[in-house]
Structure 1
Amino acid sequence: MRRAVLAAAVVVASVPPAAAPAGAAPSGRAVQAAEVCRIDDPAVTEVSGLAVVPGGFLVENDSNPDPRRTRLFYLDEGCRVTRSVGYPTTARDPEDLAVDRSGTVWVADIGDNSPLMGGSGNRRSTIALWTLKPGAKSPKIHRLRYPDGEPRDAEALLIDGAGRPVIVTKEPGGEVYRLDTPLPTDNTEGAPLTLVGHFQPSRTGTANPLGVFGSALITGAAVSPDGTKAVVRTYSDAYEFDVTGGDVAAAIVGGTPVVTPLPNEPQGEAIAYTADGNGFLTVSDQPGPVSIQHYPATRKASPVPAKPAPGTAAEAFPPRERPERQGRLALLVSAFSVVGLMLVAAAARYARRR
C-alpha cells in the first residue's frame, strides 16, 4: 500500500493542478511536526482514528479480514498498548474516533470504499457508530443511513455541543451530515441523517504523496476539548473552524477556516486535539510501526467551554444550497487521472490482506 501511495506522487505530478475553489484559503503557515511517540506493537496496524484519553491515547485499527484484529487500543503516553477492546459483532470499516464531554468513546464505522478506491464493490446500505461509555466492557452499535439511501465513503466524525454526531464524507466537496433525531441503539433500520451542507478543501500546494488528489480528500476530524474549535483534515492540511453555540456542522459549512499544513505524512488519516486544545495530534494509516505527530495549532483554544446547542434543531439550521461545482469538478478531473493508480492500490490492498 505504501508503494502505491508513493507511486501516486509520480502520477499526480503529471496532472495539471486544479483551480483553487472559493472559500477556504491556505494560510501559508509553515509548521514543524514533532514526534510524540512511536506505536510499534504488531497488533496495531493501519491506524485510522486517534483520540486523547486520560493517561494517553486511543487508536483504532482499520478494517481487517480477521475481525479479532479490528479493535480499539488504549496507549500510554509512550505509545505502549495498555489494553484493547473488541466489538461484540464485526465492525465493518472503522475510520475515525471521538470522545465526548461525558467521556464516551465514539467509533465511526463509516468507511465504504468504492471499487476504484480498493473496495470490494459490495457497498453498504447503512453505516454505523459505536459508543463505549466509561466503565463499559463492550461498545454498543447505532446504525444510520444517508437521506437518499445511496452509499458514500466517509472517514471524519465530530460530536457537537448537543451530543449530535456530525459526519463529513471523504470525496472532494465533502457532504456534511448530522443526526437530528434521537440516537437509536441495536437498530436494524438506519436512522436518517440530515444533509447540512458541504465543505470543499482548497488547493493548498502542501506536499503529500497524492498531490492535488490528496489535498482534496477528507480523512479525519475532531472537536477541541472546550468545544470552541473544530478541525477537518485532508491528506495534506488541517482546516480549523470557530464553533459558535456548539453547532459544529454550521461552523464547517459556513465558517472560514485557518489552515495548518501537515506536510509529507505517509498516509495522514487521523487527527485529534491535544488535551489543552492548543495543538493537533496526527497519525498515518500504515501497516507497520507509525508515529504520533504533534503540530501547534494556529490559534489557542478558549478556556471557556462553548454553550451546548439546542437539542434537535434541524429547522434552525436548514441545509444550504450546494456550492459552485467548478472547483470540485476540477479536482474530480484530477482524480480520474489517477484511476489506473487506484486500481493498482486496490490490488495491493487485496494482496496484503489475503
Structure 2
Amino acid sequence: MRVRGRLRWGRRARIGAVLAALLTGVVTPAVLLTPGAAGAAGAGAPVCQIRDDRLKEISGMVATDDGYVVVNDGADDEARRRIFFLDQRCAVVRTVSYPSQPRDTEDLAIGRDGTVWVADIGDNDRSRTTVAVWRLAPGKDKPVLHRMAYPDRPHDAEALLLDSDGQPLIVTKGGSGTVFLYAPSIALRPGATTPLAPAGQVSLPMTDTSNPFSFIGRGVVTGAANAPDGRRVVLRSYADAFEYDVPDGDVVKALTSGTPRITPLPDEPQGESITYSRDGGSLLTVSESADQPPGTRPTILRYPATDGPVTAGHPTGSAGPVSPTAVRPIAEDTIGLGGRPWLLAAGGGTLLGLLALAGVLWWRHTARP
C-alpha cells in the first residue's frame, strides 16, 4: 500500500500522536519516544540497488537461487503491473504479465517447488467483495488466478504466507498491533471463488524502533515470509521483523501460540517487503521509493536472521476461528491516507472515540509542512 502524503514528524506531530494514544488507551513507553530513540538498532547491509524505473513501489519480494522476484503494489501504469525477475545484481532479466488486471498486489510467497504466489489482497478502502492470489508455476509464463472471499467483512492485507501444504495464508494489516489470519476453507480452484475461514489472531510485541510512522508504523503488518526449510516464518511491520519458530510445520500454531524473536528494521523509507535468503541465514528487505527524494533507488538490505532465545516475553496470539469483530483493533490500515479518515475509535460514538479522532485529525493537520 503506497502511503500518500508522507508524515513529517515535528514537535507538534509527536504531541498529537501521544494525545491520540492516550485517549485510545494505546499508550506505551514506546509511544512516548521520539523517532530517533531506537537504541542500538542498526541499519541493514546493502545487497544491491534496483535501478529499473518501473520498480518504485515494490510491495513484495522473494529470493530465488538465481536472484529475486518482486512486484509493485497496485499500479495504474501497465508497464509496472508485472511480475519482475531480477538477477543477483538486481537487474531485471524477465517479466511476466497477468492475463487480466490485478487489483492491488501486495506480497509474494514462494513454494518449495519454486511456485511463485502473488497476493492480490490489498484493499485500502475495504470495499472488495473478493481478493485473490495468482499462482505462477515454475517455468510458466502465465499466472493462474484464484479468487477468495472473506467470511465476515472486507479486510486490508499486505502479507502472505504458505502453510505446510503449500496453501496460502493471509495476514491482515491490522492497525493497533492485532492482526488476523485467514486460510482457504476448501481447495483452491481456478474460475471459482473459495471461501476463506478465520484461523486465529496475532498481537505484535511493542517495540520502540525508529521508523517514519512512529508508533503507528510498529502496529501494522506489511509483509511476511517462510524460511526455505519451513522451520521459521517472519512477519514485518514498518519498523521490525518478528520471527516465529515452526518446529512441527504448523504455521498457524506457530503464529498464534509462539513467541517471536525481534529484529529491528530501523528507518527504512517505506518497508513493505521481506524474505529469507536462500540459505535461510539472512532476512532481506526492500522499501518503496516513489515518495523519496529524486534519484533514490530501492535497495535490498540484509539483516542477520535471528537464532537462539526469544526476546519477547509472552505468546502473541490465539488459535482457532476468531471473529475480528470480537477483538476489534483500533483500525485496519491506520496509515492509509487515501482519502478516508483514520478510524481510530473502536468505541464509535463514545466521547472517548470522538476525542481520539479529533486528536489524530489535529495531528494530521499540524504534521503537514
1:339-354 matches, cutoff 5 A: 339=361
60, 78, 87: which is aligned to 2:89?
A: 78
Q: Deviations over 1:116-156 (max 9, x none)?
A: xxxxx7x21000000000111110000001112x2110000
Whether the 8 Å contact between 1:31 and 1:295 is mirrored in structure 2 is no
- CA drift of 1:244 comes to 3.1
- Is 1:225 the counterpart of 2:201 in the alignment? no
How far, CA to CA, are the matches of 1:240 and 1:213 in structure 2?
A: 20
Would the aligned equivalents of 1:29 and 1:261 in 2 still touch at CA under 8 Å? no
Give the superposition deviation at 1:341: 7.4
Indicate how the Cα distance of structure 1 residues 343 and 19 shifts in structure 2: closer, same or farther if over 3 A, else same. closer
Inter-partner Cα distance in structure 2 for 1:224 and 1:128: 23
Amino acid at match of 2:84: F
Q: 5+ residue gaps in structure 1?
A: 22-26, 115-120, 301-316, 346-354
Aligned to 1:144: 148
Does residue 184 in structure 1 map to residue 185 in structure 2?
no
CA RMSD of aligned residues (A): 3.0
- Cα distance per residue 1:301-352 (max 9 Å; x no partner): xxxxxxxxxxxxxxxx7325779959858x946995545777999xxxxxxx
Question: Which residue of 1 is the match for residue 340 of structure 2?
Answer: none
Residue 199 of structure 1, CA deviation: 1.2
- Aligned residue in 1 for 2:320: 318
1:197 deviates by 1.2
Cα–Cα, structure 1 residues 11 and 244, in superposed 2: closer, same or farther, change >3 Å?
Answer: farther
| 2-structure distance, mates of 1:161, 1:98 | 13
The answer to whether residue 204 in structure 2 is matched with residue 201 in structure 1 is yes
* TM superposition shift of 1:40: 1.2
Task: Report SS of the residue matched to 1:91.
Answer: coil
- Alpha-carbon contact 1:20-1:327 (below 8 Å) kept: no
Corresponding letter in the other structure for 1:83:
R
The AA in structure 1 aligned to 2:286 is V
Give 1:24's aligned residue.
none
Q: Taking structure 1 as reference, are residues 33 and 140 closer, same or farther at Cα in structure 2, changes over 3 Å only?
A: same
Partner of 2:35: none
Change over 3 Å in CA distance of 1:343–1:67 after alignment to 2 = farther
Provide the rounded CA distance (Å) in 2 between the counterparts of 1:3 and 1:320.
Answer: 32
User: Residues of 1 paired with 2:222 and 2:202: CA distance?
Assistant: 13
1:3–1:108 CA distance, 2 compared to 1 (3 A): closer
Residues of 1 paired with 2:145 and 2:188: CA distance? 10
User: Given the two structures, how large is their TM-score scaled by the length of structure 2?
Assistant: 0.77
Deviation at 1:83, TM superposition (A): 1.0
**2:271·2:288 contact (CA, 8 Å) conserved in 1?**
yes
Q: Secondary structure at the match of 1:7?
A: coil
The aligned counterpart of 2:137 is 133
CA contact (8 A) 1:36 1:291 kept: yes
CA distance in 1, matches of 2:106, 2:183: 17
Q: C-alpha deviations, 1:3-30, integer Å up to 9, x for none?
A: 8324257665222253459xxxxx9873
Partner of 1:5 in structure 2? 6
Residue equivalent to 2:307: 299
Question: Quick one: which of 192, 215, 219 aligns to 2:218?
Answer: 215
Match of 2:283 in 1: 280
Change (3 A) 1:239 1:324: farther
Q: What's the CA shift for 1:274?
A: 0.9
